[in-house]
């Protein structure tokens, strides 16, 4: 999931997958790549144009480039996937990774990125070092095979990822409310007035991010089980609460130092 460019590491995943298929004849997992095609300088052509020539004809039915899909359709892909791999070379955060985890899909991510922080200490074994170009393909291939085998033997692996995603979403929502309700435009240390523009942008960002998170939860819950959609409906009021609070805060006049 994600645009097909060097940053997202889609080439790393493809190389590891083709390696796994070659080394393990019975490895018949399908690889679906969802995201916008991008022009790659290193290839002097688009990502899919380059890799379509590299994929053996015998594997054309197993490797699919689906392009962008509607966000509402993503839940179905997450829920049916045995594994999602996010081998980004760098990443501050990973909304798509969080979505996959919330749907109960195990993930493998790049070590030493914001993606690893999403996993937390309890799932740290699913972070792979992608910095060494000579070792990362073998390591990623090994992890993919291992997750596939664990999923076949046990059904509870996805529940660990879902629990972690729920913890992050809950903490994020609480933190955003705290940001808006407790940050005031009166004064910063040293007696300097807090710039209203900075405060406004912080509130706008908090409100937008929180709204996006809640919309994501609602969409995923509706797709997974329509009966549970009503249970999440009350959460949707949080974004409007943030906007109302922001309006009240911004209407106040800052107290300037005497």
Coil, strand, or helix at residue 127?
strand
Q: What is the pTM of this model?
A: 0.68
Q: Which of 188, 194, 1 is nearest to 87 (CA)?
A: 1
| 74-120: pLDDT as tens digits | 888 998 898 999 999 888 888 889 889 988 899 999 998 889 988 98
pLDDT for 226 equals 46
10-156 maps to CATH 3.40.50.2000: yes
Listed by start position, the domains of the chain span: 10-156, 183-251
CA distance 63 to 110: 22
3-class state of residue 24 by DSSP: coil
């Amino acid at each position: 999931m994600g645009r097909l460019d060097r940053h997202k590491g889609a080439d790393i995943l493809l190389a590891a997958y083709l390696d796994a298929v070659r080394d393990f004849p019975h490895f018949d997992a399908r690889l679906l790549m969802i995201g916008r095609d991008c022009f790659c300088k290193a290839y002097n052509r688009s990502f899919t144009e380059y890799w379509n020539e590299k994929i053996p004809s015998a594997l054309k039915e197993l490797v699919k480039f689906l392009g962008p899909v509607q966000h509402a359709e993503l839940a179905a892909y997450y829920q049916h996937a045995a594994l999602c791999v996010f081998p980004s070379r760098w990443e501050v955060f990973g909304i798509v990774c969080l979505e996959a985890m919330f749907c109960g899909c195990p993930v493998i991510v790049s070590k030493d990125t914001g993606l690893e922080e999403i996993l937390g200490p309890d799932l740290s074994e699913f972070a792979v070092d992608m910095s060494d170009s000579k070792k990362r393909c073998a390591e990623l291939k090994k992890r993919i095979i291992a997750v596939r085998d664990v999923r076949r033997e046990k059904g509870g692996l996805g529940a660990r990822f879902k629990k972690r995603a729920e913890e992050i979403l809950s903490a994020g929502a609480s933190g955003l409310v705290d940001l808006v309700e407790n940050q005031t435009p009166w004064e910063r240390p040293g007696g300097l007035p807090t710039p209203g523009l900075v405060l406004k942008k912080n509130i706008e960002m908090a409100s937008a991010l929180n709204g996006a998170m809640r919309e994501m939860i609602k969409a995923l819950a509706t797709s997974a089980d329509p009966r549970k959609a009503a249970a999440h409906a009350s959460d949707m009021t949080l974004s409007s609460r943030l906007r109302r609070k922001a309006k009240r805060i911004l209407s106040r006049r800052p107290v300037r130092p005497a």
